[in-house]
Amino acid sequence: MLNLDEHPHRRYNPLTNEWILVSPHRARRPWQGQVEDTPPDTRPAYDPTCYLCPGNERAGGKVNPAYSGTFVFDNDFPALLADTPTDEPDDHPLFRAQGERGICRVICFSPRHDLTLAHMAPGDIRPVIDTWAEQTLDLGSRDFIGYVQVFENKGAMMGCSNPHPHGQIWSTTRMPREIDKEIIAQRDYFKAHGITLLADYLAEEQRRAERILYANEHWTVLVPFWAIWPFETLLVSNRPAQSIPDLDEAERDALANALHQVTVRYDNLFRTSFPYSMGFHQQPTDGADYPYWHLHAHFYPPLLRSATVKKHMVGYEMLGTPQRDITAEQAAAHLRSLSDRHYTREN
C-alpha cells in the first residue's frame, strides 16, 4: 500500500485544482539543518541612502515624511496605471489582449531601517495589519478596482531591492491568475458542501495534528498537505473571515501573533534572515458576493537546507509538475520544533 513517507506520489491542491509531485524516498536521511554563519546584520536604524527611511528622498524626487508608524505611498514605478485604455483591440481569438487598470503602492512597516517582521513585537505588527485593512478598503472602494493584492517580497534572493521592512499592494480591475483558480475551487466546494473549503480543511488538519506548527484562538499556521516550497506555510483564519478589513480587534491581535510566530521560526530555521514572498488572499472588491471566500495568507520561501541552498523551479518543474523531496509533515515538524524566540535574542 502507498506510504506517503516512502513512495513517490502526487498530492492534490484543492485550492487551485492542481497536482504536485512528492519524492520522499530521496530525503529519508535524517535532518541535517545546516547552519551557516551568515554575516551579522549590521544595518543602522536609519540609513541616509535608503529611499524608504523617514525624511529621505525617493527616486523621482518625492520626499518621505518624518513618519513614526507605518507609511504608505504610491509606487514611483507602478506596474499598473489608473488611466490606461481598457478595450480589447484585436478580435482574433488567438491574439487576445486587454488593457488592465490598477494602482500600486508601497507600505513601510516601520520607520526603523534595521527591523524585519521577525524582529517586530506583535504590538508593532498590529499597525501593519490595520494599514493593510485601510488600504484594502480605500483601493477596493474604487469602481475600477476588482482585487487588492497585499504582499511582501523579502530578501535579495526574492528580488527585493531594499532591506527596509516594507511590503507592496498591487490592485487591479480583473482577478489575478491565482485568485481566479481559488475562486473556482472555493465556489464549487461551498456549493457542494455548504461550508468553506478551508473551514473543512482546517477541521481535518486539527484532527490530524501533523502539519500545524502554530495555532491560537483565531489563526492556524500549517504546512499545507500540498505545499510545493520546502517550508511553505498557510495561515488560515479559524473563522471564515473574507478579508483583512473584516477582522475584528481580537482577530487582528491574534494575526499579529501568528505573523510573529511564523517569521521568527523561519529566521531560526537556518539562523538567517529568512527570504520569502508572502501575501494575503482575500475576497475580490468588485462588488459581487463571495460567501465562499475564506481569508488566508501564503508564505512561499525558497530556502531548502541552508541559508544559501535554494530551491529552483527548473527542468521537470517548469515543463511538467512542481516537485518536493522532504514531505510537508517533515517540514512542519522542523518548524514546530524551533524556538519562538528569535536566535539573535537567545543569549
323 part of the interface to ligand H2U, by CB under 6 A: no
Between 51 and 229, name the residue whose CB sits nearer to Zn ion.
51
Task: Phi first, then psi: give them for residue 212, nearest 5 degrees.
Answer: -85, 130
* Residue 296 annotated among the catalytic residues of the structure: no
Q: What are the angstrom distances between the C-alpha of 97 and each of 78, 109, 212, 316?
A: 20, 36, 42, 29
Residue 164 touches which of Zn ion, ligand H2U, none (Cβ within 5-8 Å per kind): Zn ion
Q: Which three cell numbers stand for residue 72?
A: 504608505
Are 125 and 259 spatial neighbours (Cβ–Cβ below 8 Å)?
Answer: yes
Between 58 and 174, name the residue whose CB sits nearer to Zn ion.
58
Residue 100 touches which of ligand H2U, Zn ion, none (Cβ within 5-8 Å per kind): none
| Distance in Å, CB of 269 to ligand H2U, minimum | 22
Are 275 and 144 spatial neighbours (Cβ–Cβ below 8 Å)?
Answer: no
Residue 77 touches which of ligand H2U, Zn ion, none (Cβ within 5-8 Å per kind): ligand H2U
Residue 331 touches which of Zn ion, ligand H2U, none (Cβ within 5-8 Å per kind): none
Between 160 and 244, name the residue whose CB sits nearer to ligand H2U.
160
Q: Where are the alpha helices (DSSP H) in the chain?
A: 122-140, 177-193, 197-208, 249-270, 316-319, 328-337
From the list 13, 16, 56, 75, which residue makes contact with ligand H2U (rule: CB under 6 A)? 75
Q: For ligand H2U, what does the binding mask look like between residues 131 and 170, x meaning CB under 6 A?
A: ----------------------x-----xxxx---x-x--
Task: Give percent helix, percent strand, percent coil of the chain, each to the nearest 5.
Answer: 30, 20, 50
| Distance in Å, CB of 205 to ligand H2U, minimum | 31
| Distance in Å, CB of 120 to ligand H2U, minimum | 17
Q: Residue 28 contacts by C-beta under 8 Å, 6 or more apart in sequence?
A: 5, 6
Q: What are the angstrom distances between the C-alpha of 5 and each of 8, 9, 20, 328?
A: 9, 10, 15, 10
| Distance in Å, CB of 138 to Zn ion, minimum | 24
| Distance in Å, CB of 242 to Zn ion, minimum | 34
From the list 3, 30, 39, 77, which residue makes contact with ligand H2U (rule: CB under 6 A)? 77
Which residues within the stretch 168-207 sit at the binding site for ligand H2U (CB under 6 A)? Answer: 168
The one catalytic residue among 113, 119, 164, 166: 166
Q: How many CB atoms lie within 10 A of CB 235?
A: 21
Are 168 and 75 spatial neighbours (Cβ–Cβ below 8 Å)?
Answer: yes
Query: How many angstroms separate the CA atoms of 279 and 231, rounded?
Result: 15
From the list 2, 59, 314, 319, which residue makes contact with ligand H2U (rule: CB under 6 A)? 59
Active site residues: 166
